[in-house]
Amino acid sequence: MKDLILVVADKNMHFALRGALNRPEALGIRPITVEFLVHPGRDGGVRKGGAELLALKRSAASYDQGPEGIF
C-alpha cells in the first residue's frame, strides 16, 4: 500500500514533486511511499478527471496517523 497517490499534469511536475518527497527529513515528515499518475489530459485532464482517476486507486493507498497521531 502507498502512503500517497498524486495525479499530476506532466512529467515536469512528477519529477519536481518526486525530488521534494524523496527528502523527507528536509520536509520534517516521515519517509513515505508515493505513486504518481501522470494524466494524459495534462492540466485540463487533472482538473476535470483527476478525482475520478484517484477514485480508481482508492484501495491502493492507506492512511496512518503515526504514533503521535500526526504525520
Note whether 34 and 2 are within 8 A (CB).
yes
What are the cell numbers at 22?
524523496
Instruction: Render each residue's pLDDT in the chain as its tens digit; 71 residues.
Output: 889 999 999 999 999 999 999 999 999 999 999 999 999 999 999 999 999 999 888 887 776 666 665 54
**What is the reported pLDDT for 44?**
95
| pLDDT 10s digits, 11-25 | 999 999 999 999 999
**Alpha carbon of residue 45 to chain centroid:** 16
Would you kindly state where each structural domain of the chain is located, as residue ranges?
A: 4-60
What are the cell numbers at 71?
504525520
- Looking at the chain, how many residues does it have? 71
